Chains A and B, each alone.
Chain A
């Protein structure tokens, strides 16, 4: 039993399609998520990310295909017992406006069997202690999001579903949020996060799943996606004033130089050629003052896959 839970994926989707009326929201989705992974779903609005999460949560059922979470159908009533160790933050989370922040959290804590102490701690962590006695109706969007985060963190969840979690959070809270996620991950939690904020999520996730119009168009670690996308690595060389043109000549025509300034040169190469290019730059000796290497960013990778699908 223990062994099974280690080997089996926590979440497994096979051939999953979902249609609402005539509209196809997801088609032929295959996705396995292993224990301890942090998987980020990336895609435009309406690409099917929220539907994917709802399927995993058992809030809706697939039109065809199989969804399994922790070895069972999440839409079955028997799966409800697992919810004690789940945390969910829906997109643009809503609460009963007439309740105060602390009443809302206490209500959810009771359902999850967490202690009132947990509530106080969480309110403190997300910075809502001062507003805990105020009605949620008076909260700003960011405050609601913070309360949403707090409820998702109740009871130290092992499995997190976070739909656009950093939406409406200010930068310092975003940091705090990622720290919280990291702490849960160190304790062995698994999470599924949908996000638009590609630049900030880039360093935090194990795996990215790019979704477009209900289809998975790419999936893998950041490195794997870079390789699949075959996007160029950019470099920037600083040279002494006036020497840029000379350096460009010495590098030769085999290297793709995109821009020559007075003291800088910009060039690009494929990842596989990177070391060779760096060595050649090294051979230039003292004429090169500095070298900056910029690997492709997640949003470039994302755009690449999006455009490839479009063409």
Chain B
């Protein structure tokens, strides 16, 4: 455990040093700020809390941004050390390969946690204090931050998998962009296309729910838009998700599996890798 913490602390320190954390905080804070300002318009006519509106708009955009930040943090984690030659030295120290992966993972998740806490949480807190807005629906907002961290963890794990498979950093960059495109854009696009063409309704509701469940980004989206009543009503999705069987437990389970499976795969590949 001590080894894992030593390795995690190094990643965290690197994150502070190369301004990664600062950059991520700024991006997330700007997003939260802009969306709160723009999002405050519709609250006048419909009686919903400002925070619920923020959750909807932030979750919709985080789905693009958080995976991108997570992949940028993680794609280099293994291949960079292989390429620079620092991995060889690290492995001659009393650390096992799984400790290296878990340690890096913990460090990168902490970086993301800090960025989300300050970028989303801090901004929202300051806005609420300044404008004197209500804190109704803060649970949904906290849950949005937690699920954003989980989504980030998914893409950190996927980034490691890429990083341990490829042989060069340049390939890792390409593969990371590819992952982002597939999971964040193409999957939904293709699903939407298939649904529009599916005039005879061959795709059952169960199949559709399953297709949503196996995509980490969709799981994240539905989780945020359906878990709390205030949010789901404002999003116009009241009851839809639970009717389709997409309960919170399933959605969280899906995200967890998307963290654990790529991490295990990355670890197995790393174990077999010769230097």
Contact = CB atoms under 8 A, between A and B. Distances in A.
A83 B92 contact: yes
B189 interface: no
Nearest to B80: A96
Contact of A90 (B18, B88, B93, B96): B88
A59 B6 contact: no
A94 interface: yes
A3 interface: no
Nearest to B84: A94
A92 to B, nearest CB: 7
Contact of B96 (A54, A77, A107, A161): A77
Interface string B49-85: 0000000000000000000000000000000000011
Interface stretch (A108-116, A123-131, A273-281): A108-116
Contact of B275 (A54, A96, A103): A54
A81 B274 contact: no
Nearest to B98: A77
B86 A94 contact: yes
Interface residues of B, number: 23
A99 to B, nearest CB: 8
Interface string A233-247: 000000000000000
B85 A93 contact: yes
A57 interface: yes
Interface class of chain B by DSSP: helix
A88 interface: yes
B93 A83 contact: yes
A93 B86 CA distance: 8
Of the four ranges (under 10, 10 to 19, 20 to 34, 35 or more), the interface on chain A belongs to: 20 to 34
Interface string A43-83: 00000000000100101110000000000000001001111
B132 to A, nearest CB: 43
A238 to B, nearest CB: 53
A81 B92 CA distance: 10
Interface of A: 54, 57, 59-61, 77, 80-84, 86, 88, 90, 92-96, 98-99, 103, 107-108, 110-113, 151, 161
21 contacts: A54-B275, A60-B274, A60-B275, A77-B96, A88-B89, A90-B88, A90-B89, A93-B85, A94-B85, A95-B86, A96-B84, A98-B14, A98-B17, A103-B13, A107-B6, A111-B7, A111-B93, A111-B94, A111-B95, A113-B94, A161-B92
